[in-house]
Structure 1
Amino acid sequence: MSRIGRALGVLVALAGVAGPAGAARAAGAACAVEYKVSPYTGGFTTAITVFNTGDVEIRGWTFRFPLDPGATVAEFYNANLVSPSTVVVTTAKDWNSLVKPLTNISLGFRAIGTPGADPAWFTVNDLPCSRVG
């Protein structure tokens, strides 16, 4: 491979790490999630706290988790809703896109249907998060 080809390969690799997903996967990145459900007739609400338990900032984020097939998110708070069912996908708002080490963000949603079992996993920028509580 030529020097130019090697240099391009390095630049592409660095670009992948420099973006939001790469920032969360960097050494020292870690997250934890607290998930609390409150049922009501015809649906439920959920309060979610995402903790940056690592020692690096998370700049921009995508938060994912599986949702019971019997439910659909109708409204998401403090995040942009990308996908409302099966695997819920949300992204940061402009004002909460930076999560400093040892801080947290509060999210939540209102769903129609049954809550079912709590999600089996959560990720922030494809980084698996541990469960709190």
Structure 2
Amino acid sequence: MTYTKNSEWPGGFTAGVTINNTGTSAISSWTVKFTFPGDQKITSSWNDGSLTQSGETVTATNASYNGSISPGGNASFGFQGTWTSNDSSPTSFSVNGTTCN
């Protein structure tokens, strides 16, 4: 899992998440969860089927065209958000309930 902050400005940011399948079998669909350590709020997203936020916790699911990830392959999604006092990057992620870093 890779989290990349693509750009940041006072009060806003864009970021992307890449899911890397390091296993030996294909992933047929995915749900990614992570928690913002700051006060970020997602305002829009792309390359995901659904991205929701409850408090600091974010949940993203695959779109119809990027749910299958072959061994050694990856899928990604991105989003734009706002922040007021803390735009620290998340440090813990899970894919389909399994913690990864």
- Shared fold by TM > 0.5? yes
Larger Rg computed on CA atoms? 1
Aligned counterpart, 1:108: 78
Greater strand share, 1 or 2?
2
Alpha-carbon offset, residue 84 of structure 1? 5.7
**Residue type at the aligned position of 1:120:** T
Alpha-carbon offset, residue 47 of structure 1? 1.9
The ranges of structure 1 where at least 4 consecutive aligned residues each deviate by more than 2 angstroms after the TM superposition are 82-85, 114-117
1:86 counterpart = 2:59: no
Aligned counterpart, 1:117: 88
Aligned counterparts of 2:59 and 2:76: Cα–Cα separation in 1? 15
Aligned-pair Cα RMSD in Å: 1.6
SS in 1 for 2:65: helix
Q: Give 5+ residue unaligned stretches, structure 1.
A: 1-32
Alpha-carbon offset, residue 40 of structure 1? 1.7
Q: TM-score, normalised by structure 1?
A: 0.67
* Identity level (%): 31
Q: Deviations over 1:23-80 (max 9, x none)?
A: xxxxxxxxxx111112123210102211001111111111111013411001121111
Greater helix share, 1 or 2?
1
Q: Give 5+ residue unaligned stretches, structure 2.
A: none
Alpha-carbon offset, residue 85 of structure 1? 4.2
Aligned counterparts of 1:73 and 1:53: Cα–Cα separation in 2? 28
